[in-house]
Structure 1
Amino acid sequence: MDYSKFLDDSFDAKEWVNAAFRNHKDTAVSKDQYATTLVMKLQMFIQEVNNILEEASQQALQNLPRVMREIDAVRQEASLLQDQMRMVKEDIQKVEQSTAQSMQVLLKLDGIKGRMKTTAEALKEADNWTTLSADVEEVFHSNDIQAITDKLTGMQQSLQMLVDTPDYADRCQHLEKLKNRLEAILSPQLIAAFNTQSLESAKMYTKMFDNIERLPQLYKYYHKCHKGKLLENWRDIVDSKQDETTIEWLTELYDLLLSTWHSQINWCSQVFKDPVPIVCDLISESLTSLDPPILTCISGLISTRGDTLSTLTELKKITERFATNLETTVESHMTEHSASLEKLLLSIYAPYRSYLPKYSTFQEVVLIQDLDNIKMDHEEVMDTVQLLSETVNKLFSAANKANTRCQKLTNGFCYVGLLDAYKTYFLCYCREFRRVLINIREKCGINQGSEGEDWSNFQHSLRLIQTCGDLILHAEELDQEVVSSILHSVGRHIGSPNRHCLQFQASLFIDNKDDIETLEIMISKLEEGDTPSKLTDIKSEMCKLCEEVHKFGFEIVFAQLKKYLSNISNMEIWTSKRAEGALTSDLPSFSLSPQEYITKIGQYLMTIPQHLEPFMLHDNPTLTTALKYGKLPYIDDQDLPEHLADLWLESVAKGTMHIYCEEILKIINLSPHATKQLITDIEYLLNVLDDLGLQPTDNISNINILLQATTEDFTDKAETMPQRLTHAISAMRHIEL
């Protein structure tokens, strides 16, 4: 039976009883008997608990007096301890008051003792310096290198204690002369040790130079020995392989330098404490001392080939492979001394920095050559239009190649120069496009006029507009590509530590700090979402070109209309006396027919949609883009309509109405019959426009109203209209205002 449940705070008597009966498995004992037994057990358990409680209470009562006595004893001891602590505190205060002056004296005496000890050591070292100086000549005569080193080391230590002596500078100078004598004695043996790569000798001399604080001079001897070998090997490469080019020479040189790095880093690791910067400086000094210099070899190769950019790109690929291999190897051996690696990288890329200030010019030369190879003109207009259409892909293919060249040669750090070259390149193209456009205009004979309707020229102009749209679309793609390339190749260095930072990486290719700052500013603007100004200028120029081509297309389609509209003001019907008379003047307007000139205009306008249809049947992003950035005459700035043909129709119709209005206003005299005829002509034009879904302009509507107005109503209707119209119409109709 589980009695532990009685200890639970959430004890439930019913649940306990039910659990007890559930656990009853003996079927021979009835539940009543089991209940009786359970009650007896509980009563016995209660009795047992009562006994335990009674015993515990009795024991507690018996122990209580003893506990009280012990508490009183502890209280008395605590009070006694408190009194003793107070007495000790008073004693300490008395001692401090009585011995304060004595402690000050002791402190002064201790300071005096320290100074006396320092003085004694200084005197000892001064005496030691005197002794060592007196014996140094004898030691030098003995030619015992180790003894000389020990003697100079001792003098060096003594000199450190004599800093404040009046003749300290003279002593330093004397010691330096002695070190120079020792170095002169050791130099032949040191050079021999470095040439033969003798570890034991090199370690011994390194320790000696370290003791006399001349390790930098030791490193110079090391560099001199191995640099001489490398320069000799380079001369052998150039002299023995005259039939090969700088490409092969550089490849072999870089292999030699990489091999030297591996061999020397292993040897120097056993001799010097920090071998990496020593070997890095060896490679750097060797690269800057080559004879002939790498720059001279590169210049010779460029002179032979005549292609600066491709030659530099090919050579830089070899150089970059060497630099990457060397940088990876160096990083595995070093945790600091990044300055040595930076110096090495600057030496490796030094030949290219001499060319890159003219990078923009080099790119311009290549791009202009590519542009010269693009044929844009032909004797036939149709072939010329086709050639211009084909120039777009060629034009931007060359631009994309220039972008790739920039990344390969300069790792993207000369994008400022590339953008300058882009601007020159595309402006030259636009200038050439305009020249061809002038030739096309002359061949189409727009200004001379042509007999009949020739829609082929209009088709050509639409294709030219498509070409302009294609130019702008490609320019936007190039814009995105260039920005992405700049941010990917250069922008990733912003915020990077040490040699991976933008300033250092840029300094590998750019010497001018102002150019680096310009590059940083450009990248910051790109990250904010701005477009480089050069690309904006290019796109702006293409938009101007697009507008000029739109104007050219409009002139073509409008040339015939302009011909129909010419000399309307001088037509004989407006002043003819034959049409006057009671019979003709009383004829209603609907009995008159529109004249031939206006019917030709109407028929011409009705045929325009069918000539636009081949270009407008399907979505034409190039035409849409061209209309977005170009502008048709007589069209205000507005959103593009769903059907581009509507925009052309609106432009031509507005142009027609504008010229028509101007011709009407030139009419000097208008008889009543002529007025009705003119109204008939205008109404015909308005009906044609309505059939085309176009609205008349305010001027043509106002002229129509003024022509239809009676003499009595003319003044009232003229009040709300422009004075130029009202005065002209009133004059030709002989109505006084």
Structure 2
Amino acid sequence: MDIAALSNESFNAIDWINGSYNKHLKEIGNEIDKKGPTESNDNDFIAKDFIAKNVSKLHLYIQQVHNAVEETSQKVVSGMPRVVKDALELQTEVEELKKRMHAMRREMTNVQEETGDCMAALERLNTIQTKLQKAKESLQESDGWGNLICELEDCFEHNNLKGAFDKLLSLQKSLQVQEQLVGHAERLAQVEDFKNRLEAVASPNVVQCFSEGSVEHTKQYVSIFSGIQRVAQLEQYYRAVQKNSLQQKWKQILDMQAAESSNQTHFLSVFYNYLLEHCHQQVKWCAQVFHNMQGNIQPVIVIIELLPSLQPSRDSYILQLLKACNERLELLEEYAQANHTFMAHLTAFLEQSKIELSYETHCQLLQSVYGYFHKFIEQYPRIEETQLSTQVDKLLVSQTSAVDSVRHLDNCNQKMFDWLSDACERCSHITDDLGLCRLIEIICGILKKMLENFSKTQRQISLSIDNGTENWSTLQCSMSLLQCLADFQIKLQKFEKSLQIRMSKLKENLISTSSCKISVYKTYDIQEQKKLISNIEKYQKKNMESSSAYASSSIFFTFIYDQIKIHCVETHEIALNVLLKPIEGHLLSIQPSLNPSSDSLMPANMPEFSFAPQECITQIGQYLLTLPQHLEPLLFTPSPLLKQGLEICNVKYTQAVPCADILLSLVVEQCCQVYQSQLLQIKSLSAISSKQFAVDIEYLSSVVEDLGLSISANLSQILILLKAAPENYLALSAGCEPRLVTAIRQMRNIVSTQ
């Protein structure tokens, strides 16, 4: 039996019993095989035998455990008095230790109180001793001050720069020691005077070293100036030498460019390239010579101080070239790009060299590069206006005929907007769009000139209408002008969208200049920035408040869009006038019979079929019937531009109906209006004349119906009033317009019964 398994933490009684039972079966397996078949299969007997043996063993083990526990408990009980006695003795010793610690603390407090005054006295005596020691050293140094001054003067007389530097260092150390003595301020002034003398003696050699670029000799002077705390003055000498050298190079480049007439405009790019190369070399040289962090940025500070002080200045020289040059905008664009290129390359070099400029230094660098160019940014709009006006004046030349004028305008549209796009690109390159608002005002003036030319062409077309003739060439010309106007509007809308994008981007750049590290915006005047932002917001507000249908998305050209619509409507009216001119000529001949006798010879009750339409009405009918064959080739499938132009003129053209049919309906509508006006001008009508005019209107109505249209409502009412018998006039006139009822009644001399 495995008794050790009982102490295992994972003990399981069932598993333990089964394991023991299986082991028991293996032990008695051979004996079971030798017994008979009945006994060999009696598992109950084997189990009972196993249980009996193991239970007896367990009883024995339990008895042994009880005996061991009883023996152990007796030992513990017998030892308890001794443990209690030891605990009481330990408690007594702890109490005694506490008393001793309190006594020691009282003794330490007493000692501290007794020795505190003594320690303060010792500290005071130590301080006095230190002061006396310093005073002693100061007196000793004071005794040697005169000797150092004499030795320093001797070094100056013999021009011994190294010896003078060493003596001056000793003098500085001696001055620090004599800080407590009277007359320290005078000695300090005396040392500063010697520093000035040393700097004056060393300055010619320093300038020569900087000019020659000698690294070893320059290092010696760097150590000397560092020792006397004059590194800032040494850096000034360095910058002065470099600026003088670069100033001479500037004059040399200007002289060389002036001698070459073909390349004299490239002076700025040439100088900037030389300046970049010089900066690369000097940064490496300064890294070898100057050991402080400010040494590497000295070439950059040279550029900052040099560019605004160049003689002649960049702006004055550019002004001279502008006065003698015809391509002034190209010249300004070249210099603006030279500024951007130089600044971009310089910034890339500084990043590559891991030279970090402070925010103030970076702003100074931007100001030195871009500052001079702001006067040209202010002049740019005026120069651009001059060039655009010259181009437009040459382009908008009057043509001899209306057809040539329309064809010329069609060609002008593309050229005009190409020039305007080029002007915007120049504005971006030259001013970084800072002159965009003023440029837009100039563009408005240019567009007005273009519209004036449209007006001139309209007048030419209007004057070319022949009296009483069918002028199909003029109609074609007016349609071409309408198409040209639509093309002008589409190009203007596309152009304005690009301007809106650029203006929004300009506003972002002005508001958040921190995002534009290399930018001319940082050098732009704060007040001018606020003014420009205010102008942009004014444009945007104007866009939101716009109520014009064709300018709802317009920020800049609301007036232009309104004028385009007016010109489109006027051009469409010209086309209508062309088509109505023959009709008006025929309608002017409409008059009642002036011979009363002829009317008296004809019975008033003649049937209507005995009347025939007047010749002028039949001619109008024939003309209207021939219009579709003239209009369909022109307007059955109009170009998208012509379709848009027609839609601007009249909303009816937006319907899913051929434009030719809509124009024909407008002609019929105008024809009815003119016919009505002509009828209402008649003072008196006889019964025969009333029937004649009724027949004429019915004929015209049938012709119009053949065209798929109908005469106007007023003309239909006039027909009813002309055919009404005098005795039934009042009843039949019900529902007609009162003005027409009264007019026809007076014309027919019908007495009112009301």
Pick the TM interval, shorter chain. Answer: 0.7 to 0.9
Q: Per-residue displacement from partner, 1:664-723 (whole Å, max 9, x unpaired)? A: 222211222222222222233333333333354343233333334444554456565544
Structure 1 unaligned residues grouped into runs of 5+: 1-6, 8-35
Q: Per-residue displacement from partner, 1:159-203 (whole Å, max 9, x unpaired)? A: 9x99xx999999998886665455434432332332232334444
Q: Per-residue displacement from partner, 1:49-105 (whole Å, max 9, x unpaired)? A: xx99x9999999969989x99xxx9xx99xx9xx99xx99xx9xx99xx99xx9xx9
Q: Residue 493 of structure 1: CA displacement?
A: 7.6
* Pairing partner for 1:228 from 238, 241, 244: 244
SS of residue in 1 equivalent to 2:557: helix
Q: Residue 341 of structure 1: CA displacement?
A: 3.6
TM-score by length of 1: 0.75
- Counterpart of 2:497? 480
Report % sequence identity: 24
Report the number of matched residues: 664
Matched, 1:270 2:288: yes
Matched, 1:436 2:457: yes
- Counterpart of 2:631? 612
Matched, 1:535 2:551: no
- Counterpart of 1:283? 303
Q: Residue 462 of structure 1: CA displacement?
A: 0.7
- The one-letter amino acid of 2:334's match is E
* Pairing partner for 2:388 from 367, 375, 381: 367
* Pairing partner for 1:586 from 580, 605, 608: 605
User: Residues 538 and 275 (structure 1 numbering): CA distance in 2 closer, same or farther, change over 3 Å?
Assistant: farther
User: Residues 361 and 528 (structure 1 numbering): CA distance in 2 closer, same or farther, change over 3 Å?
Assistant: closer
Distance 1:678 1:128 in 2: 140
User: Residues 318 and 496 (structure 1 numbering): CA distance in 2 closer, same or farther, change over 3 Å?
Assistant: closer
- The one-letter amino acid of 1:558's match is L
Matched, 1:406 2:427: yes
- Counterpart of 2:532? 518
514-523 or 316-325: bigger deviation: 514-523
Q: Please give the residue correspondences for 1:686-705 in structure 2 after superposition, counting only pairs within 5 Å.
A: 686-705=701-720
Matched, 1:672 2:687: yes
Q: Per-residue displacement from partner, 1:563-614 (whole Å, max 9, x unpaired)? A: 233364xx133x5424535854212334433222233333333333333323
Q: Residue 211 of structure 1: CA displacement?
A: 6.0
* Pairing partner for 2:324 from 301, 304, 308: 304
RCO higher in structure (CA 8 A, sep ≥6): 1
Matched, 1:386 2:407: yes
Q: Residue 313 of structure 1: CA displacement?
A: 1.7
Larger Rg: 2
**Contact 2:608/2:695 (8 A) holds in 1:** yes
- Counterpart of 2:614? 595
- Counterpart of 1:324? 344
- Counterpart of 1:566? 588
User: Residues 720 and 171 (structure 1 numbering): CA distance in 2 closer, same or farther, change over 3 Å?
Assistant: farther
Q: Please give the residue correspondences for 1:630-641 in structure 2 after superposition, counting only pairs within 5 Å.
A: 631=649, 639-641=654-656
- Counterpart of 1:340? 361
User: Residues 263 and 383 (structure 1 numbering): CA distance in 2 closer, same or farther, change over 3 Å?
Assistant: same
Matched, 1:450 2:474: no
**Contact 2:451/2:564 (8 A) holds in 1:** yes
Structure 2 unaligned residues grouped into runs of 5+: 1-9, 11-40, 78-82, 157-162, 545-552
User: Residues 181 and 552 (structure 1 numbering): CA distance in 2 closer, same or farther, change over 3 Å?
Assistant: farther
Q: Residue 413 of structure 1: CA displacement?
A: 3.2
Q: Residue 325 of structure 1: CA displacement?
A: 1.6
Distance 1:179 1:558 in 2: 104
SS of residue in 1 equivalent to 2:400: coil
- Counterpart of 1:397? 418
**Contact 1:190/1:205 (8 A) holds in 2:** yes
**Contact 2:322/2:328 (8 A) holds in 1:** yes
CA RMSD, Structure 1 to Structure 2 (Å): 5.2
553-562 or 211-220: bigger deviation: 211-220
* Pairing partner for 1:188 from 199, 204, 207: 204
**Contact 1:209/1:215 (8 A) holds in 2:** yes
**Contact 1:466/1:626 (8 A) holds in 2:** yes
User: Residues 305 and 336 (structure 1 numbering): CA distance in 2 closer, same or farther, change over 3 Å?
Assistant: closer
Distance 1:278 1:266 in 2: 11
Distance 2:406 2:175 in 1: 89
User: Residues 572 and 525 (structure 1 numbering): CA distance in 2 closer, same or farther, change over 3 Å?
Assistant: closer
- The one-letter amino acid of 1:294's match is R
Q: Residue 129 of structure 1: CA displacement?
A: 14
- Counterpart of 2:574? 552
Q: Per-residue displacement from partner, 1:550-575 (whole Å, max 9, x unpaired)? A: 2332332222223233364xx133x5
- Counterpart of 2:375? 354
Q: Per-residue displacement from partner, 1:117-164 (whole Å, max 9, x unpaired)? A: 9x979x9899799969988855752444534664686699799x99xx
Distance 2:495 2:575 in 1: 27
687-696 or 148-157: bigger deviation: 148-157
Q: Residue 234 of structure 1: CA displacement?
A: 1.7
Distance 2:568 2:137 in 1: 92
**Contact 2:513/2:521 (8 A) holds in 1:** no
Matched, 1:313 2:333: yes
User: Residues 133 and 597 (structure 1 numbering): CA distance in 2 closer, same or farther, change over 3 Å?
Assistant: farther
143-152 or 476-485: bigger deviation: 143-152
Distance 1:549 1:701 in 2: 30
* Pairing partner for 1:246 from 256, 261, 264: 264
* Pairing partner for 1:683 from 698, 702, 713: 698
User: Residues 639 and 453 (structure 1 numbering): CA distance in 2 closer, same or farther, change over 3 Å?
Assistant: closer
Q: Residue 659 of structure 1: CA displacement?
A: 2.2
- The one-letter amino acid of 1:271's match is V
Q: Please give the residue correspondences for 1:41-60 in structure 2 after superposition, counting only pairs within 5 Å.
A: none
SS of residue in 2 equivalent to 1:587: coil
Q: Per-residue displacement from partner, 1:349-397 (whole Å, max 9, x unpaired)? A: 3443222212222222221222123254322332222222222122222
TM-score by length of 2: 0.73
461-470 or 599-608: bigger deviation: 599-608
User: Residues 729 and 158 (structure 1 numbering): CA distance in 2 closer, same or farther, change over 3 Å?
Assistant: farther
Q: Residue 208 of structure 1: CA displacement?
A: 5.3
User: Residues 380 and 527 (structure 1 numbering): CA distance in 2 closer, same or farther, change over 3 Å?
Assistant: closer
User: Residues 582 and 252 (structure 1 numbering): CA distance in 2 closer, same or farther, change over 3 Å?
Assistant: closer
Q: Residue 505 of structure 1: CA displacement?
A: 3.0
Distance 1:660 1:340 in 2: 84
SS of residue in 1 equivalent to 2:310: coil
SS of residue in 2 equivalent to 1:305: coil
Matched, 1:199 2:215: yes
**Contact 1:567/1:663 (8 A) holds in 2:** no
User: Residues 514 and 594 (structure 1 numbering): CA distance in 2 closer, same or farther, change over 3 Å?
Assistant: farther
- The one-letter amino acid of 2:404's match is D
* Pairing partner for 1:657 from 672, 676, 681: 672
**Contact 2:611/2:692 (8 A) holds in 1:** yes
Q: Per-residue displacement from partner, 1:480-535 (whole Å, max 9, x unpaired)? A: 3333455568857864635438xx53355x55742564257638977999766333
- The one-letter amino acid of 1:661's match is Q
User: Residues 562 and 210 (structure 1 numbering): CA distance in 2 closer, same or farther, change over 3 Å?
Assistant: farther
**Contact 2:350/2:356 (8 A) holds in 1:** no
- Counterpart of 1:461? 478
**Contact 1:493/1:500 (8 A) holds in 2:** no
User: Residues 208 and 431 (structure 1 numbering): CA distance in 2 closer, same or farther, change over 3 Å?
Assistant: farther
**Contact 1:364/1:421 (8 A) holds in 2:** yes
